[in-house]
Structure formats: C-alpha cells, structure tokens
Structure 1
C-alpha cells in the first residue's frame, strides 16, 4: 500500500558528474541536456551489470525474457523517472542495481526476515522504485514485513509499474523525508507509521549527500524508527566514504561530509549522546572505481557499513 499524504519534495538533490549511483546530484537545468547528449549522466543502452535485474523482473514480475529489456527501457519507466529526477542514478539505470545482495548484512537481514512467526520488520530509506524490497519478497520474505520510504512519491508509483505488483505487494510505502522532524506537518504521518516498529533499516547512497549536521538529524530520525527495546536492531547500507574526511562543497551550495571508519563511529557516538543510546559501527571500503565527488577525488571509496546497539 502507498501512503501518499506526505509531500516534502526531494531534499536529496543529487548531482552527478560520474556514472555511478553514489554521486548523484542533479546538475543545473542548463547542463542536463548537454550532459545527456554526451552520455555523461544518461546512456541509451542497458549497462553491463543489468542481468540480476533482468532475472528479478522475469522471476518476480513474470515478464517474459524476450520482453524484459523493452520493459526496462519503456518510456513509462525510465523516462518517467528522468522527468522527475534527471540524475546519474536514473540515466545509468542505477535504480536497478542489485549490488546490495553481495553485502553480508543483506544476507543476515534476509535470514532474520525468513524466520517464521518473528516480528522482524525491514525499512528501506530512500527506496526509490523499491528494488530492494522486491528482491527480499522474491527471496521469500513476507512482504507485509517490508517498508519503504522515499521523499519522492512518484518513484514509489513507478515502482509498482516497473515490477507489476500493485495488487500483490503487501509492503507499506511511505512518501516522506527522513530529514524532517517528524512533528506536525514535517513527517508526522511517517512517524506514526514507522516509529518504534523497525528491526532493520537499509539506507544506500544517502549519507554522503549531506552535511554532518544533516546526517545527525537523519540518524536520529532512523533511531526513532527502530524498536527501542530490541538489542538486535541494525542499520546497514553503503555510501561514499574517504580516506581523508573533509567537508566537500556540493555543487548546489551544500556541504557534504564524507567519512572514514573513525569519523563514522564519531557520528554515531554523537547521535548516541543526543538520544541517550550507544552504537558501534563496522565499515569496509569496497573500491574506488568511477567515483567523483568534487574536491575529494583520489581519496573517495565506496564504503559498506553496519550500525548496531553497543
């Protein structure tokens, strides 16, 4: 079901100079057409790593193999997303990336969700078209345990069209902004639906888009979503990190803070002080290929992380 009473607009203005889902600012409008024409943020052909998405659309959505590529490229899918959000993640089909399945924490989350009669609940923050939720459902998870949240409600609607499961998916999809306070008109309904109910939160390509202060706000909000008395809650995902943490000036005037293992723990120590909680983190740098984050090039790395109660 889609809860569509929240509307904040997309606060994660993403910006992309490189063909990667981790650096995803929207370029200035005047640059979009030029960047698209040069293939910088928009490619005509499907990427080489699309095969896992093809399999999901065949096996989960029931789309015949001969029709999958046409379905992915259909104007009702990517062009709708592009009209909403002309960025690298859309132009390079990163909204169908299945790389999250290689994260050992995904496998842990899946195993916990598959336990019969448990009350484990999973939230994907910034879920876009909901590919993570559909993969979990295909892997055997009762989709009524799944929740998705994105600041752009139209992404959620396109997800139903893409995966053809409007009548079968039981997940709760919420249009709302994790950076909102959760009070009155700033996320009150999302708080009512999510606060204190989640066991596992997944968040990908999100934290690196924001300043330290905004990351603190987002982390505090996520803590509110977690079950307060569950010692086994977990937040995990991936973002861009760095071997030399700086403040990086975003193209649209924001400061973005990139982390290494030490500063990531510092962030959660600070959040713990503010919320009366304690957290421990795990970090693995994955690779550094194809990432440009203005001013930090050469030091940036993809970074997988886990956050657990200490």
Structure 2
C-alpha cells in the first residue's frame, strides 16, 4: 500500500484527540519555568542541569499513551494554582493552619490532577501530606507523577484517587473513587477541565463539586481553578471527533456565574446552599522564553482582545445551610 494511503488509514483509525494533539508537539521544553525548576530542585532533588532530560523522558512516556496538547507542549510545567490570586491567602494559609480541637482538618483536592504538580507545590510549601488529595481518571498519570517528582516516600499513594471521575453519578467507589471524599473537601481545585466539555457536562461537574464539599463548616468553602474562556459565551466546535467530542462550551464571566447559580438552584441544592459568590477574571497568557522567568499572565482588556482566546481564573465560594 502506498505510504500516502497508509497515512490515511492510520488517521482514520486514530482517535480525534490524537489527531488534534499532533499539531501541538514540542520535542523538548525550551526552558523549565522558574517555579517548576525550583520545585524539582528543592522538593524532588533533580539538579537543574538534569531537569530537561528528566522531564522529557517522563513526558515522552506519557505522550505515547496520552497525546494531549498539554503533554505535547509541556503545558503541565505551569503551576496554575500557585499563580492563582487566591493561593496564598485562601489555599496555602488555610491548609497550614493547625487543626482546632474536635474539628476535622481542612482537606484539599485537585480534580484532574494530571501529573500531580499542584499537590507537589503545596507539599513543598509545607502543607501536611495527609491534608492533600488528588484525582485523575488515568492511573498512568499517577505513576508518572511519582516518577517525575521522586516522592514515593513523601506523599501517600492512596491519596491519589483513580478513577476519579467528575462526570460520574454513582456512589460506587470502584467506578468513582471520589465518593470517599463526599462532604469532606474544604478546598477543591479543578483547572483545565471545564473547557474540555459541553454545557450539559459543565452542569454535571458543578453538581459533582458540590457533593464533594464540606457542609458542616458554617462558613464559605472554596472551589477554584482556571481554564480557557471566551469574551462571548458560546459553543466551540473542534474540527474532528464525534459530535460530543467536537462540542465544547466556553464561558465569559457572566455565563460562568450563571452556570453555578443554575445548578445551586436545582431542587437537590436549593434548600442547602444559602450563599454563593462567584469571582472570575479574564487574562491573556503569554509564554516568556527567558529561562529565569515564569509565564507572564496579564489582565485582559476586553475592548482590545478581539478574537484572541483568553484564560479565565476563577473562584467560587459556597456556604451551606448549617446542620440542624
């Protein structure tokens, strides 16, 4: 069979996400962002002169099985949570607080953790490991995360829940291990997840987040993250894949708040959620190629963004009705 025909046959058999991801692949990282480089040096003991080869080896193993754009472009090296405006005051400070006598300790969960980079940053910043949890649907990501950060002796492996499926509607932990954290999570981080799905699935994910959150604090609990946004709330169609794979929904600030309010107004939550505060800001992402610099993130000017794709950083504070 001629090579051109072979290529066509292979493309016909290749999942849509893999075809799309091939368009976004870098052989090696041009640099290791400063925050990640420092994390690998101080927390994982990987010397700076070895980091590019170490990262590339782990990435190549991940990409062979999961050819996602975040793997192909080394996007996972960006520590989104540590750059979040709520990180120091509302995430790190909360998780560093001593436990009050007779009160449950605050628990952090990273949903869709990929290689677990955000949890490692929290651990390096001093958060007790038993307060840190992460989840993903792919066990290979969990294993490669331990290889990347060389920390089998630092973090409990059973705190990495897999499968952890935010689209699941089940109480069976064999299908969704997140069920063991229902009603226990004080701070829930979920980044680069919503923009992978359509609006109906967004509602399912919000509902799943609400089920995970603690209901007994008599104070607001936090969900936060970042993902691709849009100046105009709209469906976005990928060029390949099934109808569901192609149909994504990107939010602006107004539609994002409307999503959370709609779900919280559903019968199962209407009488349980007594207050909801949604904050979101659009940013422009600019990669800085200076090896001593991190990625630059600047606030968007909504009047000049035109068709450029902004990045949305957000936090949602939910207060539940006190238990009788």
TM-score scaled to structure 2, two decimals? 0.78
The answer to whether the 8 Å contact 1:122/1:147 transfers is: yes
Matched, 1:194 2:181: yes
Shift of the 65–148 alpha-carbon distance from structure 1 to 2, 3 Å rule, reads: same
The answer to whether the 8 Å contact 2:80/2:226 transfers is: no
Give per-residue Cα distances to partners, 1:49-83, cap 9 Å, x unaligned: 52321111110011223322221122xx1111101
The answer to whether the 8 Å contact 2:28/2:52 transfers is: no
Q: Which has the larger radius of gyration?
A: 2
The answer to whether the 8 Å contact 1:239/1:302 transfers is: yes
Matched, 1:207 2:194: yes
The answer to whether the 8 Å contact 2:32/2:52 transfers is: no
**What aligned pairs does 1:1-310 form with structure 2 within 5 A after superposition?**
27=16, 29=18, 35=22, 40-48=23-31, 50-74=33-57, 77-107=58-88, 108-117=90-99, 119-170=105-156, 172-175=159-162, 176-184=164-172, 187-191=175-179, 193-230=180-217, 231-250=219-238, 251-252=240-241, 253-254=243-244, 255-274=247-266, 275-276=269-270, 277=273, 278-287=275-284, 298=307, 300-309=309-318
Shift of the 273–219 alpha-carbon distance from structure 1 to 2, 3 Å rule, reads: same
SS of 1:218's equivalent in the other structure is: helix
The answer to whether the 8 Å contact 2:184/2:214 transfers is: yes
Task: Tell which has more relative contact order, 1 or 2 (C-alpha 8 A, sep 6+).
Answer: 1
Over the residues paired in the alignment, what is the CA RMSD in angstroms?
Answer: 2.2
The answer to whether the 8 Å contact 1:47/1:92 transfers is: no
Shift of the 279–42 alpha-carbon distance from structure 1 to 2, 3 Å rule, reads: same
5+ long unaligned stretches in structure 2: 1-14, 288-305, 320-324
Q: Separation in 1 of the partners of 2:174 and 2:168?
A: 5
Give per-residue Cα distances to partners, 1:252-281, cap 9 Å, x unaligned: 222211111111111011110122224220
Q: Separation in 1 of the partners of 2:32 and 2:280?
A: 25
The answer to whether the 8 Å contact 2:191/2:227 transfers is: yes
Moved over 6 A (4+): none
- Size of the aligned set, in residue pairs, is 271
Shift of the 190–249 alpha-carbon distance from structure 1 to 2, 3 Å rule, reads: same
Partner of 2:297: none
